[in-house]
Amino acid sequence: MECTYCGLPVEDHDPLYLSTAPESEPTAQFCNYGCLATYIDEEELTTGTACSWSPE
């Protein structure tokens, strides 16, 4: 499978898979934490989504 962020084959690295449920097919996959972290950062996926975050 291709890395969701960089498009390289994830099997060549230390792959991570992202799915919405434990039994479901992965919706995204990444070479390693570097690609995952950069993808999250660039897509701003964590903005306002932390479960325990509150504006003080």
β-sheet bridge partners, residue 17: 29
For residue 12, the minimal CB distance to Zn ion (Å) is 9
For residue 52, the minimal CB distance to Zn ion (Å) is 29
By beta-carbon proximity to Zn ion, the closer residue of 42 and 56 is 42
Give the residues lining the site for Zn ion (CB under 5 A): 3, 5-6, 31, 35
Contact 40, 4 (CB under 8 A): no
By beta-carbon proximity to Zn ion, the closer residue of 11 and 19 is 11
Q: How far apart are CA 53 and CA 47, in angstroms?
A: 10
